[in-house]
Chains A and B, each alone.
Chain A
Amino acid sequence: MSFLIPCPNCGSRDVNEFAYGGEIAVRPEARPNVRELGSYLYFRRNVAGVQREWWFHRLGCEAWFQAERDTRTNEVLLTERPRASRDEAPPGPEAPALPDTPAV
């Protein structure tokens, strides 16, 4: 119940209506070796600054879109529907979710 995200379809909505899909990682084009695969799967830039990322409007239009957000302020600078093309950067590979184990 905090910052607002302008959904490209529905307009400005509370962040809690959305599912976060992670920063956009670059999926290897050819078969990666184990190290490269680990790098793609797990390593993240985790910037303190503007990050391009995936969001899904779960309690709205149920569409995925991309956003640019400043992780220092949570200001969402831009949102847009993904450009439908095979060359487009693929998603962060693992949907983040809350674990089964307790936080503490």
Chain B
Amino acid sequence: MRLPPRPQERIDRSRELTFFFEGEPRHGFPGDTVGSALFASGRRVFSRSFKYHRPRGLLCCSGQCPNCLMQVDGVPNVRVCTMPLREGARVRGQNVLGSLDRDVMSVVDKIGGPFTPVGFYYRTMIRPRRAWPLYERFLRNVAGLGKIDRGAGRTRRFDTEHRRVEVLVIGGGRAGIEAARAAAARGEQVVLVDEGLGPGERAAGGSFEVIAPARALGIYEGGLVPVDAGQVLIRFRARRIVVATGAIEQPLVFPGNDLVGVMLPGAVRRLTDEWSLRPGSRAVVIGADERALSVVAELRSAGTEIARVVDLRAESPRRIAAEGKKGRLASVLVDGEGLDCDLLVMSGGRQPAYSLLAQAGARIEYDAGRGVFVPIELPASVEAVGAVAGELPSGATPAATYEGGGKARGKCFVCVCEDVTTKDVRRAIAEGFDSIELAKRYTTVTMGPCQGRLCQLPSVRLYARENGTDEAAIGRTTARPPWAPVSLGLLAGRGHEPARRTSIHERHVQLGARMMWTGAWRRVHSYGDPAGEVRAVHEAVGAIDVSTLGKILVSGPDAAAFLERLYPNRFGDLRPGRIRYSVLGTDAGRIMDDGTIARLDDDRFYVTTTSTGADVVSEWLEWWNAVWGMGVEVVNLTGALAAVNVAGPRARELLGRLTDLDVSNESFSYLDAKQAHVAGVPCLLLRIGFVGELGYELHCSSPYGEYLWSTLLERGADLGLRPFGLEAQRVLRLEKQHILVGQDTDSESNALEAGMPWVVKFDKDEFVGKWALEHVRERGLRERLVGFEMTGWTVPPEGGQIVVDGRPAGRVTSARWSGELRRAIGLAWVPAALAEEDAELAIRVDGRLEQARVRLRPFLDPDGERLRS
């Protein structure tokens, strides 16, 4: 039932909206919230409480308390009192077994028993241990509020916006508007954000931007203020932040203070003024300031009969108790005087909403004169204005709690979110949880959905009284951001992770490639037949897209000296046009990456890295360059260049068809680097052989990659060319015992134990990692990376263990079936004592031990004749 039209009402009565509550149609108007429309439809019970399943009704009507949490359109835990009503909205109660009006679980409230005292779960269900999972199942099922639809996917699109402003005002009450106007008048660029729909009108005529409804989520380091504006998350950085978040009405603590019909003054004001609703027919009002007591006039204008007004400044009743029927307020007892009523308006004063300021670094102190916590010592560039700054009427300190009167035995709630009563708090103190932080964790006061807005102050007051001290000595618990609950969807924005594709990617897709991840790159696993791809490389020619390799140009007069100092291998004597391999090590001697380095001319080196190592290596080079200050420039060309490796006995023949370069073995030998046109594309050609056959890596500008690839495939078709993927490459390189850094090495591996002593030039004056490697050499090798071949046919799992005396003693890092060798081969870390040719290894496979033999030399072409041919 609505009251006749009122001057400040927010609803548009010319149009009706239909929504559904528990499947039944209900009606409201534009301007309603789901909560006000439900209230108008006669609903008074909005939720069931967390533990006792007591019926709860509108309390704050401003989105602070947990009393109106419902499921709306499948979204759990919606504060319907502030949720604008939409046509067709589907609204349901939550945390009930049955219905909001008849919740079977409310039996907990009646019988009490072991499942109610604070911390009961710590003291029960301990024995027998095997019964705990059953207890736990029960506990888990009764806990929680809203339900998640397990089958739901992401539905909405959220965006993130970054903004810089001169002044950001948070809160559009009178003080906030004034601050915004004043700043705008000084010519500053101002944005004001407010949670409600109201400030638009109040701000009319001001030359500043208003964003509402929108909630500031916090003031984070660096003055970052993220604002929840519905579908958009705005990340503000402001030169000056003005906090005008006002104050929050505090409930009084007395028996029955959670009954449906007990409200805070603000709720009454909003119901009557904004939605023209009568909050009750007969009311008792208890308050301590003008603002609270002034609701009397509003109530009268709405036709509510006033049974009694208790002005706590004038009288201090010792006993207050509310009594109800079926959870709904029926009467109030004030010092023995019984008053029938269906509405009790209570106010325990207004607590400045200081959380944002506290997060920004302000100190919060208890002001005994006003009975509230106030912010002091604000950080630079943050201001507080209005009620949040403590501009409150003085003398608004009501007594902390009230005993029940007469027969009243109702529960007396300190925290409605978590259903914590004064009895619980007293018990916690008696048990020794005497500091507020300990008690918070034990009783869970302030840890519920209101985030302490309605329970911090009352619990501190109670603590002070019980401990015989004052509120200042008790202090407060840390306010944790975010200031308002914010959905994961909004925080996530438009979910996207960086993913990299080579310039040849589309060709692979067309060829039906199966793709896989290596780091951020998408690469080809295979084109459907890895074994056939391996065969093609051994017998004819294959091509693989290796554009993902890190490609770094190191140039300058000191380039050679720089690489000489950085890498364990020697580069000072590398002739232009020649290539050398090295691992790259840290000062701890650990392998961080590997690759080939080609000297292009005196002052320029072309450094390649692993696919995942490009950025790390380029940062590493830059770092040492910054330290040593040598005449070197480092440019990471990884994304700019594509690369294709053409390998196989017929690779030369193919290349010869596409270039004028003399590709004979005499003039273009193994480990030569040359620049030439291939298929008309300017290329850097590196003759290297990761896959063990005669091969050329062709590096060219990325835009040419696709063309070069297609041309190679076309012109090589009659030679038996097949494109091959990583799977084939893994088999091929394993046949040669070429390592994959990061797979065959781990965080401790060094070049000596990884079986590459030839890479470490100890006779150099210095190089990064030399000291550590010298120590390794002196102490002797503890473990070794070696090749192995299985005695049987089983391919052991990568990650499988070498077992000695029943204990893990080493591990398989790579293992594959080699069609060429007709046996299972791999690489493994083994204790140094086992690193001998033919040594027997026991490898755990599916729980059994399988035999393998150590092979220290490449399985295939151990002398590299194919590479050099």
Contact = CB atoms under 8 A, between A and B. Distances in A.
Instruction: Please say whether the chains A and B touch (CB closer than 8 A).
Output: yes
B629 interface: yes
Q: How large is the interface on B (under 10, 10 to 19, 20 to 34, 35 or more residues)?
A: 20 to 34
Contacts of A19: 619
B601 interface: no
B87 interface: no
B136 interface: no
Contacts of A21: 623
Contacts of B619: 19, 56, 58, 95
Contact of B775 (A14, A37, A64, A84): A37
Given A1-B220, A3-B222, A88 B629 contact: yes
B108 interface: no
A85 interface: yes
A25 to B, nearest CB: 10
A91 B628 CA distance: 10
A39 interface: no
Dominant secondary structure at the B interface = helix
Contacts of A2: 220-222, 224
B620 interface: yes
A83 B620 CA distance: 18
B629 A93 contact: no
Nearest to A99: B747
Contacts of A62: 622, 636
A28 interface: yes
Contacts of B662: none
B622 A56 contact: yes
B314 interface: no
B782 to A, nearest CB: 14
B481 to A, nearest CB: 12
Given A2-B220, A2-B222, A90 B622 contact: no
A93 B623 CA distance: 10
B640 interface: no
Nearest to A58: B619
Contacts of B132: none
A62 B222 CA distance: 22
A82 interface: yes
Contacts of A31: 771, 774
Contact of B620 (A65, A82, A95): A95
Contacts of B774: 31
B624 A93 contact: no
Interface string A23-39: 00001100110100100
Interface in A60-98: 62-65, 74, 82-86, 88, 90-91, 93-95, 97
A91 B623 contact: yes
A24 B626 CA distance: 13
A16 B620 CA distance: 19
Contact of B616 (A64, A74, A85, A95): A95
Nearest to A88: B627
Contact of B629 (A3, A82, A97): A82
A63 B774 CA distance: 32
A40 B775 CA distance: 14
A4 B629 contact: no
Contacts of B771: 28, 31-32, 37
A4 B624 contact: no
B772 interface: yes
Interface of B: 220-222, 224, 235, 586-588, 616, 619-620, 622-624, 626-629, 636, 771-772, 774-775
The list of the 8 closest CB pairs from A to B, nearest first, reads: A84-B629, A2-B221, A64-B626, A93-B587, A4-B222, A3-B221, A82-B626, A3-B222
23 contacts: A1-B220, A2-B221, A3-B221, A4-B222, A31-B771, A37-B772, A54-B623, A56-B619, A56-B622, A56-B623, A62-B622, A64-B623, A82-B626, A84-B626, A85-B629, A88-B629, A91-B623, A94-B586, A95-B616, A95-B619, A95-B620, A95-B623, A97-B616
